[in-house]
Amino acid sequence: MIDDRLLAHHGDVEARGMLDFAVNVAVERPPEFLASAMADAITDLAAYPDAGPATALLADHLGLPTGRLLLVNGAAEAFHLIARAEPWRHPVVVHPQFTEPETALRAAGFAPGRHVLEAPAFAFDAESFEARHAEADLVFVGNPTNPTSRLHPAADLLRLRRPGRLVVVDEAFMDTVPREQDTVLRHAAAGEGVFVVRSLTKTFGLAGARAGFVVAEPAWIEACARAQPHWSVNSLALAAIEAICTRAGVAHVADVAARVAADRALLVDGLTGLGFDVVRPAAAPFVLAHHPRAAELRSRLREAGIAVRRADTFPGLDDTWLRIAVRDAATTATLLDALRTAGADHADTPETDREVR
């Protein structure tokens, strides 16, 4: 079992002062139109933030009623709101995935079950889940999943729905998927036992501003709103949300999705050529890669000033896995050269059995 303290480990800790392949934000900085909107909002910082206008704009942008959408202080806040919304009896987290949902449940006093997907594909099977967790009344699953980069078919996730069960789908990286294939957002808005969490920080370079939203039927939106602190979403984040709901915002998302797909292909090909087994098909702005000497290679990269994300803090993975962010072609070439120098293509250490944690 993973030490519970490792669940709180995130890539930003590894990336400080390094060439960053550890953090999964898709762009280095906010686009100019977004930075300008946030700069204009600075003059109004003396006033308390009012989420109403941004909520209305985003709801209209998504084609949803305002009562089915709640702005949150990043996706991480949403997980804590959900954890406190009900006295859950049998919450379950599908792993490997972002560890904050489990952390939130534990902080709320729950001991969540774990459904661990198997390497090398990490594919989700609803029948297998039901065989082990038929009593689950709350399920957390990522799509595309961090750290595996797997995009689960929406139909498979929708098969999780049962009376008395809430299925929470973390779609923090869905806007990097061209045309948002396999999203269950519409089902969440229709009140079909599905709750969707979205982040607005990954594609727009806003991790420091904390901006996200949730979509669900009104009863769940109201339950989360009651648990949310006043003025949770700050004025700069609200200005960013309003700016995102423009033609410039739509164009930016489409551009990032296209660039991520092209740059990810270069990364996957390069890693494969150096002896890594990359989880495919990858759909997010990062990949999960296996190498028998991953821990050693990660250490060698750090000595060269390059950070990649250790993956042994994710339940279901061990230190033979690394999560590596997608970057532009030139930056990726730097990583691949460093891995080649570190001898990644000479995997002369026998591969140990993969431990399922």
- Go through the domains of the chain in sequence order and give each one's CATH number: 4-27+249-341 (3.90.1150.10), 32-246 (3.40.640.10)
Query: What is the predicted pLDDT for the residue at 258?
Result: 92
**105 pLDDT more than 60:** yes
SS3 (DSSP) at 357: coil
**49 pLDDT more than 50:** yes
What is the average per-residue pLDDT within 254-263?
A: 93
Q: Residue 132 — very low, low, confident or very high, per pLDDT cuts 50/70/90?
A: very high
User: Which residue has 């939203």 as its token pair?
Assistant: 213
Higher-pLDDT residue of 69, 209: 69
Name the percent of the chain lying above pLDDT 70.
Answer: 92
- Give the whole-angstrom CA distance, residue 273 versus residue 41: 48
CB 149, CB 24: distance < 8 Å = no
Neighbours of 73 (CB within 10 A): 20
**pLDDT 10s digits, 133-179:** 999 999 999 999 999 999 999 999 999 999 999 999 999 999 888 76
Query: What is the predicted pLDDT for the residue at 19?
Result: 87
Amino acid at 355: E
SS3 (DSSP) at 168: strand
Query: What is the predicted pLDDT for the residue at 55?
Result: 97
Distance, C-alpha 200 to centroid of its chain: 11
Q: Which two tokens stand for residue 95?
A: 């792993």
Cis ω on the peptide bond leading into residue 96 (within 30° of 0)?
yes
- Give the whole-angstrom CA distance, residue 184 versus residue 172: 13
Query: What is the predicted pLDDT for the residue at 355?
Result: 38
**9 pLDDT more than 60:** no
Query: What is the predicted pLDDT for the residue at 347?
Result: 55
**7 pLDDT more than 60:** no
Alpha helices in the chain (DSSP H): 11-15, 32-41, 52-62, 75-83, 100-107, 126-133, 154-158, 185-189, 218-227, 235-244, 247-273, 294-303, 329-341
User: Which residue has 């950070």 as its token pair?
Assistant: 307
Amino acid at 290: H
pTM of the model: 0.90
| N-term to C-term CA, the chain | 5
Residue 88 makes CB contacts below 8 A (sequence gap 6+) with 105, 110, 137, 138
